[in-house]
Amino acid sequence: MRIAVASGKGGTGKTTVAVSLALALAETQSVQLLDCDVEEPNVHLFVHPEITAAHAVDKLLPQVDEAICQRCGDCVRACEFHALALLGQHIVVFPELCHGCGRCTLVCPHGAIDEVAHSLGTVETGTARGLLYGQGALDVGEAMATPIIRELKREIRPESTVVLDAPPGTGCPAIAVLRWVDIALLVTEPTSFGLHDLKAAVGVARTLDVPMAVVLNRAGVGDDQVEAYCAQERIPLLLKIPFDRAIASSYAVGIPLVDALPEWRKAFAELEEELRAVMAE
């Protein structure tokens, strides 16, 4: 089973839930934990992995040979991402906009465009506390996280239960994680902001036809709007994590919830069967 731990906003407790779920399940089965928040990976702070392999993730950027280029503009018109522009007698490439699709190279009638590798980031794999572990990291200054997430997902082991800590929000990086998972476990908080962004995450999951369930973090600090919404929309609310200073203190020093408060191991271990029941409905 592939479980994406996601949310509509940052700071809801996705990493707390993803790490605790993976560690609890690893006591009885093979589990793979993937940190897909490649812009700010932080799962390693809690499980301290031993990295055994790493490889770069590149995209191919167009490189125009000015001596061959006839300035016809076919490449500019073909680019859906507006990564090329004809300015005077020069074709200008905007690397941040380029998706590396290669279309400009294909349509150039003069063969004036080659492609060169441009580094986006890295994917690292290893082990951590009985888990198979993987993470992606976007290079500083780069804006395109999705190719790294796609490359990280190639590391998925089909024989394992896979827990994917998704990027926050509902943009392209989060969608890249939610595609082709079995279920989305949406983490939220009992506030108006939490409800607003939960609705956005639910909308994405429904668009992708991904079954979903909810974990309510910091329960007791706000109101019951989230619980009422889940009941109205018939979205299973599987777990409530209270607003507890001990939980926050352990998180601040990199101690997983199930280590700081071992009584929570059973609750997280039972989540797997509850998620399977949601998928079966």
Least confident of 3-12, 19-28, 133-142, 184-193: 3-12
Average pLDDT over residues 106-130: 97
Query: Does CATH number 3.40.630.40 belong to domain 59-119?
Result: no
- The percentage of residues in the chain with a pLDDT greater than 90, rounded to a whole number, is 96
Read off the pLDDT of residues 13-53 as tens digits, 9 standing for 90 and up. 999 999 999 999 999 999 999 999 999 999 999 999 999 99
Residue 209 clears pLDDT 90, i.e. is over it: yes
The single residue listed with the structure tokens 């991904």 is: 210
pLDDT tens, position by position, 162-182: 999 999 999 999 999 999 899
Residue intervals of the chain classified under CATH 3.30.70.20 are: 59-119
Q: Give me the pLDDT at residue 99, please.
A: 92
- pLDDT at residue number 180: 87
Instruction: In the chain, list all ranges with CATH 3.40.50.300.
Output: 2-48+129-280
Nearest to 164 by CA among 143, 187, 141: 187
Residue 155 has pLDDT above 90, yes or no: yes
Question: Out of 1.10.10.200, 3.30.390.30, 3.40.50.300, 3.40.190.10, which CATH number does the structure's domain 2-48+129-280 have?
Answer: 3.40.50.300
For every residue of 161-214, DSSP letters joined together read EEEEEPPSSSSHHHHHHHTT-SEEEEEE-SSHHHHHHHHHHHHHHHHTT--EEE
Structure tokens at 17: 């839930």
Average pLDDT over residues 258-266: 96
- Give the residue-averaged pLDDT of 237-249: 95
Type of residue numbered 95: P
Of 270, 277, 204, nearest to 236 by C-alpha is 277
- Residue 9's pLDDT is 84
Are the C-beta atoms of 178 and 18 separated by less than 8 Å?
no
Give mean pLDDT, residues 218-227. 92
What is the torsion angle, in degrees rounded to the nearest 10, for the CA atoms of residue 207, residue 213, residue 219 and residue 224? Answer: 60
Strands 161-165 and 90-93: unpaired
Please report the pLDDT score of residue 8 as a whole number: 83
* Total residues belonging to the chain: 281
Question: Contact 81/110 with Cβ under 8 angstroms?
Answer: no
Q: What is the 8-class DSSP label of residue 81?
A: T
- Determine the pLDDT at residue 53: 97
Distance CA 251, CA 31 (A): 22
What is the pLDDT at residue 281? 86
The residue that leads in pLDDT, 10 or 73, is 73
In sequence order, what are the residues at sequence separation of 6 or more whose Cβ sits closer than 8 angstroms to the Cβ of residue 114? 62, 63, 65, 105
Nearest Cα to Cα of residue 217 among 24, 21, 1, 2: 21
User: What's residue 152's pLDDT?
Assistant: 97
- Give the model's pLDDT for residue 261: 96
